[in-house]
Structure 1
Amino acid sequence: MSDEGSGATPQPPPATLRKWRRLLANEREAARGYRELASRRTGEERDILLGLAAAEQRHVAHWEGLLGEHVGPPRRGSPQTRVLTFLARHFGWVFVLALMQQAEARPLYEGDADAPAAMAADERIHGEVVRGLAARGRTRMSGTLRAAVFGANDGLVSNISLVLGVIGGGASPQTVLLTGMSGLLAGALSMAAGEFISVNSQRELLAASDPDGRARESVVHLDVDANELALVYRARGMSADEAHAHADAVLRQGASAPASAEPVRERGTDAVGSGLGAAASSFAFFATGALIPVLPFLFGAGGVTAVVVAGVLTGSALMLTGGVVGVLSGAPPLWRALRQLVIGAAAATATYLLGLAFGAVTG
C-alpha cells in the first residue's frame, strides 16, 4: 500500500533523516546543557539561561515537526555537545560559558534549506547572550585569574630558564636542584608580595576617587541660584548641560535624594579583587609552575635525561596554561598554547646558551 493512500507522512531520504535526527539530538543536548548551568545559578543569570534553554527547545520542536512519525528513538548528541553538558554539570561557570561561547559562534544553520532564517538568527543571538554572561564571570574573577595565570607562567618560564642556565654552566645535579628550589621559593614570595601590593594599591587609588558622602549633607544649605554643584558632576565626566540638569534635579530633591541619583563610576574596587586572594593565588601557582622543571632532579635524574624530561614537562604545562587562557578569553586555544610554548622555549634557550658561554669562559 502506498503512503498516499494511508495518510502517512512520506519518508524523506535516509541521508536527510540522519541529518535531521542528528540536529534534533544536538538541540536536545544544548537545551539540557543550559538547564544544567541554570540549576547552578540564581536570579537574573538563571532566568537568562532558562530563556536560552527554551529557545533551544523551539529548535527541538522544529526538527521534531519535520521528522514527524520518523523521529525514531532518542539519540545522543554529538561528542562536543555531550562534553559541554557534562562540564556544565560538574565544572566552573566561566570555563563552561567560554566553551559554549565558542560553540555558539559556529555558523549553525547558515544556508541550511531545512532550517528557517529565524533559527540561524537565534544561534547568532545566543552567542552574544553567552558572551555577555561569560564577560560577567570574567570580570568577577579577573584579579585572581590574572594572578594565577601570570604566576604559573612566570614560575614555568623563570625556573626552566634558571635550571637550564646553571646546567649550561656545568653545575652538578645537586647544585641544579638547590638553584631550582631557591628560585621557586624566592620567585613565589616575590610574586605574592608584588600582587598584594599591586592589588591593594589599585583599590586604594579607586577608593580615593569615591565621592565623599558628607558632601551630600551640604546640598540643603546651598544657594539655589549660585552654587558649584554642577561643577562636581562636570568633574566626574558629565557634559555642561547634563551637569546643570542633574544639579537642578538634586537641588529640587534635597539631601533626601537617593544614592542612585549620583553618577556611578564604571569601575569600582570590587572589580579589582582581593589583595590576599591575588597574593595567595600568585604564590600557589608560581610555586606549582616553578616546581615542574625541578621534578626530574627531585627524583634523582641527571644529565640529558633530566633536561629532556624537564623540557617536555615544562612545555606541556606552558601549552596547558596558554590553552586555558585561550578558552577563557574566547580565543582559539591552540594558538595561545603554541604562543606560550614558543615564548618559554625562547627564554630557556637564551639562558642555556648564556650558561654555556659563561661555563666556557670560567672553565
Structure 2
Amino acid sequence: MSTSPSPARPQPTTAQVRRWRRYLADERAEGAVYRHLAARREGEEREILLGLADAERRHEQHWRDLLGEHAGRTGKGALRTRVLGWLARTFGGVFVLALAQNAEQRSGYATNEDATTAMAADERVHGEVVRALATRGRARMSGSFRAAVFGANDGLVSNLALVLGIGATGVSAGTVLFTGISGLLAGALSMGAGEYVSVRSQRELLESSHPDPDAHRVIPDLDLETNELALVYRARGMSVGEAEEHAAGVIARVTAGHGMPEQERRDYEEVGSGWNAAVSSFLFFASGAFIPILPYIVGMAGTPAVLLAAGLVGVALLGTGAVVGVLSGAPPLRRALRQLAIGFGAAAVTYLLGLLFGSSVV
C-alpha cells in the first residue's frame, strides 16, 4: 500500500526569513539571560530559571523548523535583550529580574501569525514566573529600598526648593550656599532621628506582641482536660478545632522534652536595626540634598546656578523615578516623569514665593 508524499513546504519569502531569524536570535538571547541568572542562584530559584531557559530553547526550535535550510548563522538578538544578558551575567539580582519581567510582558506572540498559541501562552506564563521571582527580591529589599528612594528624593526636592526659594529673593550666592548646607544638615539629621524613632517604636510594638519566652515552662503543669492553651491559639485567630488540635500537639511536644516548635518562638517580623535605619536615611537624604548646592559650591551664582541646580536635580529625579518604575514592573518613563513633575512642582512654588517676597522687600 503506497502513501502519497506530504506536500512540500512553500519557500519562505526574504522578509519572512529575516523576521524569523530575528525571532530566533531573540529567543537565544532570552534563554541566555535566564541561564546567566540561574548561574548566580542556588536551589529552587536556580531550577525555575533553568526551566525558563529550556522553554526558550523550545521556542528557538520552532523558528529553526520554519527556517529550515535558511536558518543560517544566528544573530545576536535585540540590543535591549543583549544588554539585559550582560546585566544578568554581571550583576543578577532583582533589578535584572524586573527588567526580564518587563521584557516578557512586551512579547508580541499573541498577535504573531507565525508563532503558535502555545508559545504565546508560554510567554504569558513566563511573565508571571519572573514576576513571582522578582517579588521575592522586592520583599527582601523593600525596607532599604523605601528608605533609599524616600531619603534621596526628599533631599533632592526639599533642598532644591529651599535653594531656589532663597535664591529668588536676591540674596548673595554665599547666603544661598550656606542656607543649602544648613538645609542639608538639618534635613539629614531630622530624617535620621525620625527613622531611628520609627524603627525602634515598631520593634517595641512587635516585641510587646511576642510570646513570653518562658511561658512554655508551665505547659507540663496545665490541666489537660481544660487545655487552656487552646485559648491562646484561638486569640491568635485559629478556629476552636484548630486551636485545640494545635495546643494538644504543643503540649505533647513540650511534655516529651522537645521544647516549643520553632514558629512558636518566631512569630513577629524582623524590622532591622534603628541605628542602621538612621545612618542610611541620613546618608540618602544628604546625597540628594547635596546636588542642588553643587553649582554654588563651585562658585556659580544667579540664573546660571539656578538653572544648573534644577537641571542636575531633574536628571536625578528622572533616574530615581525610572528605577522605581523598573523594580515595580511599571513603565519606567512614566514613573520618571511623575517623579520629575512632583519635584519641580514643589520647587516652583517656593521659587515663586521667593520672587514675590524678594520683590516686596525691594
Separation of aligned partners in 2, 1:99 and 1:234: 44
Shift of 1:48: 1.6
Q: Deviations over 1:238-281 (max 9, x none)?
A: 2233222322333344443762574975x611xx3443333333
Amino acid at match of 2:309: A
Is 1:309 aligned with 2:318? Answer: no
Does the aligned pair in 2 maintain the 1:143–1:274 contact within 8 Å? no
Which whole-Å CA distance do the structure 1 matches of 2:155 and 2:263 have between them?
Answer: 47
Q: Distance in 2 between matches of 1:276 and 1:36?
A: 36
My pick for the range that moved more, 241-250 or 251-260, is 251-260
CA deviation string 1:177-203 (max 9, x = no partner) = 111111112211221222222223223
Matched with 1:321 is: 320
Q: Does 1:219 align with 2:219?
A: yes
Query: How far 1:33 sits from its partner (Å)?
Result: 0.5
Instruction: Tell me how large the CA RMSD over aligned residues is.
Output: 2.2
Matches of 1:90 and 1:280 in 2, distance apart? 29
Q: Could you tell me how far apart the structure 2 residues matched to 1:273 and 1:23 are?
A: 46
C-alpha displacement at 1:9, in angstroms?
Answer: 6.5
| 1:330 aligned onto 2:332 | no
1:126 lines up with 2:145 in the alignment: no
Deviation at 1:62, TM superposition (A): 2.1
Equivalent residue number for residue 105 of structure 1: 105
Aligned residues with identical type, % of pairs: 61
* Alpha-carbon distance change, 107 to 74 in structure 1, aligned in 2, over 3 angstroms: closer
Q: Secondary structure at the match of 1:319?
A: helix
Q: Given the superposition, is the C-alpha separation of residues 357 and 86 from structure 1 closer, same or farther in structure 2, using an over 3 Å criterion?
A: same
Cα distance in 2, alignment partners of residues 299 and 261 from structure 1: 57
Task: Using the TM superposition, name which of 149-158 and 7-16 deviates more.
Answer: 7-16
Aligned residue for 1:193? 193
Cα distance in 2, alignment partners of residues 92 and 318 from structure 1: 24
- 1:1-363, aligned counterparts within 5 Å? 11-255=11-255, 256=258, 259=261, 262=264, 265=267, 268-269=269-270, 272-363=271-362
**Cα 1:262–1:360 shift into 2, 3 Å:** same
Determine if contact 1:21/1:75 at 8 Å carries over to the other structure: yes
Deviations 1:311-332 (A, max 9, x none): 1111121111111111111111
Aligned residues: 355
Read off the aligned partner of 2:248 and give its amino acid letter. Answer: D
**Segment of structure 1 superposing worse, 103-112 or 299-308:** 103-112
Task: Render the CA deviation track for 1:298-344: whole Å, top value 9, x for unaligned.
Answer: 11111111111111111121111111111111111112111111111
Assess, with a 3 A threshold, how the Cα gap between structure 1 residues 340 and 261 changes in structure 2: closer, same or farther.
closer
Q: Is the 8 A contact 2:250 2:260 kept in 1?
A: no
Aligned counterparts of 2:55 and 2:213: Cα–Cα separation in 1: 45
Superposed displacement of residue 173, structure 1: 0.4
Q: Distance in 2 between matches of 1:186 and 1:236?
A: 43
Contact persistence 1:36–1:85 (CA under 8 A): yes
Moved more, 338-347 or 201-210: 201-210
- Taking the aligned partners of 1:92 and 1:273, their CA distance within structure 2 comes to 24
Paired letter, 1:259: P
Partner Cα distance (1:260, 1:76) in 2: 51
Distance 1:131 1:160 in 2: 36
1:213 partner SS = coil
For the residues of structure 2 that align with 1:54 and 1:276, how far apart are their CA atoms?
Answer: 45
CA distance in 2, matches of 1:278, 1:104: 35
Going from structure 1 to structure 2, the CA distance change for 1:118 and 1:258 (only over 3 Å counts) comes to: farther
The answer to whether the Cα contact below 8 Å between 2:254 and 2:260 also exists between their aligned partners in 1 is no
SS of structure 2 residue aligned to 1:110:
helix
Letter in 1 for 2:54: A
Q: Using the alignment, how far apart are the partners of 1:48 and 1:32 within structure 2?
A: 14
Contact 1:39 1:46 (8 Å CA) reproduced: yes
8 Å CA contact 1:29, 1:81 repeated in 2: yes
Q: Work out the CA distance in 1 between the residues paired with 2:212 and 2:121.
A: 47
Q: SS in structure 2 opposite 1:76? A: coil
Give the Cα separation in 2 of the matches to 1:276 and 1:238.
36
Look up the SS of the partner of 1:268 in the other structure: coil
Deviation at 1:144, TM superposition (A): 1.2
- Aligned-partner residue type, residue 33 of structure 1: V
Give the conservation status (yes or no) of the 8 Å contact 2:165–2:353: yes
Please tell me whether the aligned partners of residues 250 and 261 of structure 2 are also in contact (alpha carbons under 8 angstroms): no
**CA distance 1:66–1:217, shift in 2 (3 Å):** farther
Single out whichever of 109-118 and 328-337 deviates more from structure 2: 109-118
Range with bigger deviation, 185-194 or 241-250: 241-250
